[in-house]
Amino acid sequence: MEETDPMRDTDSELSTDGASFEGDDFSDADFSGESWQHRSYVGCLFRDTDLSGLVTESVTFTDCDFTGADLTGSQHSGSAFRNCYFEYTRMWDSSFRHSSFLGSVIRDSRIRPLTLEEVDFTLASLGEIDLRGVDLSGCRLREANLVKADLRKAILRGADLTGARTGDLRLDDADLEGARVDPSLWTSAKLGGARIEMNQAVTYAAAHGLRVAGY
C-alpha cells in the first residue's frame, strides 16, 4: 500500500482557493511565489515561513502569528490581517492595496521600502516602527499606537490619525497636508520641517497657546 506524503496532501489542499484554515501550523513552510485567492486563516502560525513573492487577493488572516516570516516582495489586494502579530518579520518591497491591519502588532520588523494604498491600520500597534519616507496617503491610522515611530519624510496626505497615540512620533519633514489629526499631535510629535496647510497651522498655533490674527 502506497504511503501518503502528508506534506504533499497539505500542498494540494493549500492550492485550492476559497479554502478555510483554523489553528493550522505552517511554520517553516515554503509558499514563496504562490497566488492565494478568497481564503481564510484563523489562529494559524506562519512563524519563519517563506511567503516571499506571495500574491493574495481577498484573503483574510485573523489572529495569525507571522513572527520571523519572510514577506519580501509580496503583493496583497483586498486582503486583511486582523489582530495578527508581526515580529522580526521581513516585509520590504511588498505592497498592500485596499487592505487592512486592524488591531495588528508590528514590531522589530524591516518593512521599508513599502507600497501602501488605502490601507487600514486602525488600532494597530506600530510603536518604534521605521516608516521613513513611506507614502501613507489616504491610509487610516485611527487610534493606532505610533509612539516613537519614525515617519520622517513620510507622506501622510489625507491620512486619518485621529485618536492615535503620538508621543515622541517623529514627523520631521513629513507631508501632512489634508491629514486629520488630534490637537495633541501638535504638541506630542516632532514636526521640524513638516509640511502643513494653513488651517493645520492655526490648530498648531492654538495647541501651543498662540493666536493667529484673522482666525
Tell me: pLDDT of 76 over 70.
yes
pTM of the model: 0.89
Position 78, amino acid: G
Q: Are residues 81 and 128 in the same domain?
A: no
Q: Is residue 148 part of a domain?
A: yes
Please give the Cα distance from 133 to 139 (Å, whole number). 14
Q: Which domain holds residue 141?
A: 121-215
Tell me: pLDDT of 31 over 50.
yes
SS3 3: coil
pLDDT tens, 126-159? 999 999 999 999 999 999 999 999 999 999 999 9
Q: Are residues 25 and 68 in the same domain?
A: yes
Confidence category of residue 214, pLDDT binned at 50, 70, 90: confident
DSSP H/E element including 94: strand 94-97
Final residue of a domain: which of 75, 109, 143? 109
Please give the Cα distance from 32 to 18 (Å, whole number). 19
The pLDDT value recorded for residue 208 is 84
Q: Are residues 131 and 213 in the same domain?
A: yes
- Identify the weakest region by mean pLDDT among 11-20, 59-68, 78-87, 194-203: 11-20
Q: Are residues 101 and 126 in the same domain?
A: no
The pLDDT value recorded for residue 15 is 56
- For 131, residues 6+ apart whose C-beta sits below 8 A from its C-beta are 111, 112, 114, 149, 150, 151, 154
Confidence category of residue 2, pLDDT binned at 50, 70, 90: very low
Confidence category of residue 207, pLDDT binned at 50, 70, 90: confident
Which position has the higher pLDDT, 12 or 15?
A: 15
pLDDT tens, 158-192? 999 999 999 999 999 999 999 999 999 999 999 99
Q: Are residues 135 and 177 in the same domain?
A: yes
Final residue of a domain: which of 109, 129, 154? 109
Q: Residue 58: give its domain's CATH number.
A: 2.160.20.80
Q: Are residues 160 and 75 in the same domain?
A: no
Please give the Cα distance from 159 to 171 (Å, whole number). 13
